Amino acid sequence: MTENVSSTAPQPPLIEVDHVSKTYVRDGQLTVAVDDANFSVPAGSVLALVGPSGCGKTTLLNMIAGLLQPTKGSVRYAGSEVTSVNCGAGYMTQHDTLLPWRRVLANVSLPLEIQGLDRRVMLDRAADALREVGLQGFERHFPNQLSGGMRKRVQLARTLVYSPETLLMDEPFGSLDAILKINLQQDLLRLLAKRERDLTVVLVTHDLEEAVTLADTVLVMAGRPARVVHVEQLEDLDRRTRDEGVVALRRLPEFSLHVERLWQSLEAASGSAQPRDGDGRSAAAPALESGRAR
């Protein structure tokens, strides 16, 4: 799945966020959640959106998922504009959205059930997906009988069971403890590497280390209204090193360097919220362009 980041063949972007703004009306007041976001995600790459809480990352993800429509600009997926729920994307939301009254297996098979698959095929594929996330033996459990980490795994299995070409993740491991988080990041990387078809991932997180661990490109969003203030390319973090494990990856000097740069861009953005607006945008735009050209 790393190939297309370093490959020279021009890949058409799978997701294009074209000068997108989103304004909410709440109690008669306008709130600009996202201001002029402009980027694209090539097929098979992993993009992370980082930024402080409430900076519109989730809004952006919801627009890519088709749950929300932009006020200005447009989101295009595989060349066509997203105007309703984007069915090519599997969305793993921040909140636990497992149905509490369904057992684990029935939860995972739910997307296939809606597609109207044959019952036998459906349950087989759900069981496979559960095995893929390391949860065989828990098919008959109810979600509330599982730990937080296991529930996340079930959710991941449910998102992957119908093989979407894109995976949208909103703070996927946000509420978990540090060790579990690393384990799940490790599993996710292994999963991504092992898939036959390349999976495109858009990941929202406020954990900079998580972003650097998982992504090929990191967009830093900051300010009110939120803008993309920095773009960090991570192609120098060799994927082969990643196979050795997340912990090894985190020890690399390049890793710390990237995290440090993300930090600085966030600090700069919050330190001088207003004056840097113009700067931030013009600095981000060329980097994006080069990111897209590769």
Partner 1 sequence: MTLQNADVHVWSGQEAEDASGAALLAQEKAGRRRKRGQIIASRLLVLVAILGAWEISSRTFVDPFAASMPSLIFDRFLEWLTDGFLLGNLAVTLMESVVGFAIGAVIGISLGLALSFNDAASKVCAPYINALYALPKVTLGPLFVIWFGIAIKMKIVMAAVFVVFLIFYNTWSGARDVDQGLVDSLRLMNANKREIARKVVLPSALVWVFNGLRVSFPLALMGATIGEIIASKRGIGFIVTDSAAQFDTTGVFTAIFTLMFVAVAVDRIIVLTQAHALKWDEASSAL
Largest CA distance in the chain: 60
Give the number of residues written for the chain.
294
CA–chain centroid gap for 284, Å, is: 20
140 binds partner 1 (CB under 8 A): no
97 binds partner 1 (CB under 8 A): yes
Token couple for 63: 């627009």
Residue 87 Cβ, how far from partner 1 at the closest point, in Å? 5
Pick one of 42, 44, 70, 90: the residue that binds partner 1 (CB under 8 A): 90
Pick one of 93, 185, 200, 217: the residue that binds partner 1 (CB under 8 A): 93
Sheet of strand 29-42: strand arrangement: 29-42, 13-26, 72-77, 80-81
Determine the 3-state secondary structure of 271 from DSSP.
helix
143 binds partner 1 (CB under 8 A): yes
- Dihedral sign of CA atoms 32, 201, 38, 71 in order: negative
Token couple for 64: 């890519």
14 binds partner 1 (CB under 8 A): no
In Å, what is the CA distance from 187 to each residue of 29, 214, 289? 43, 11, 32
Residue 170 Cβ, how far from partner 1 at the closest point, in Å? 11
Token couple for 9: 């063949």
174 binds partner 1 (CB under 8 A): no
Q: Among residues 90 and 291, whose Cβ is nearest to partner 1?
A: 90
- The secondary structure of the chain in percent helix, strand, coil, rounded to multiples of 5, reads 45, 25, 35
111 binds partner 1 (CB under 8 A): yes
175 binds partner 1 (CB under 8 A): no
102 binds partner 1 (CB under 8 A): yes
Pick one of 3, 24, 85, 243: the residue that binds partner 1 (CB under 8 A): 85
Q: Which stretch binds partner 1 (CB under 8 A): 53-61, 99-107, 208-216, 224-232?
A: 99-107
Give, as ranges, the residues between 59 and 78 that touch partner 1 (CB under 8 A).
Answer: 65, 67
95 binds partner 1 (CB under 8 A): yes
Nearest 5°: phi and psi at 224?
-130, 115
- Please give the residue ranges that form the binding site for partner 1 (CB under 8 A): 65, 67, 85-87, 89-91, 93, 95, 97, 99-102, 110-111, 114-115, 142-144, 162
